């Protein structure tokens, strides 16, 4: 299926689906799916999926997937995207990533109370 949510929304799609959430949203897609979340959002995709999160976002993808996070480049006055493939350069499956100050992927800190 396909799920789309507006600002501050949450979108969830099943196996092979596509989920898109607006600004500050959360998007989750099933195996082989695509998840896109707005600025500050969270995107999670299953195996072979693609997760794209906006500025200050968190991206997670399964085995064979891709994580992408967009950020603002003040020197060029435009948005840029950093992308990595799961299984390469230390990027692990089913692990949440953020960008550090040098625009390198780092494991996202665990939220309080998370296991």
| Bigger pLDDT: 96 vs 2 | 96
Averaged pLDDT score across all residues of the chain: 79
The pLDDT-based confidence of 54 (bands split at 50, 70, 90) is: confident
Given this model, what pLDDT does residue 12 score? 66
Which residues 6+ apart lie within 8 Å of 6 measured at CB? Answer: 22
CA distance 104 to 106: 6
- Global pTM value: 0.71
Residue 44 has pLDDT above 80, yes or no: no
Handedness of CA 74, 40, 58, 47 (dihedral sign): negative
Average the pLDDT over 37-61 and give the result. Answer: 76
Given this model, what pLDDT does residue 65 score? 85
Residue 29 has pLDDT above 90, yes or no: no
CA distance 98 to 1: 27
DSSP letters of 52-112?
EE-TT-EEEE-TT-EEEEEEEETTTTEEEEEEEETTSTTPPTT--EEE-TTS-EEEPPPPT
Contact in structure between 95 and 109 (CB atoms under 8 Å):
no
Residue 18 has pLDDT above 80, yes or no: no
């Amino acid at each position: 299926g396909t799920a789309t949510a507006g600002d501050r929304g949450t979108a969830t799609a099943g196996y092979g689906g596509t989920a898109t959430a607006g600004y500050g949203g959360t998007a989750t897609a099933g195996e082989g799916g695509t998840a896109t979340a707005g600025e500050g959002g969270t995107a999670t995709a299953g195996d072979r999926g693609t997760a794209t999160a906006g500025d200050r976002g968190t991206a997670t993808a399964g085995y064979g997937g891709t994580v992408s996070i967009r950020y603002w480049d003040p020197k060029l006055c435009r948005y840029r995207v950093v992308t990595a493939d799961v299984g390469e350069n230390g990027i692990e499956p089913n692990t949440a990533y953020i960008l550090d100050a040098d625009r390198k992927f780092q494991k996202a800190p665990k939220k309080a109370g998370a296991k």
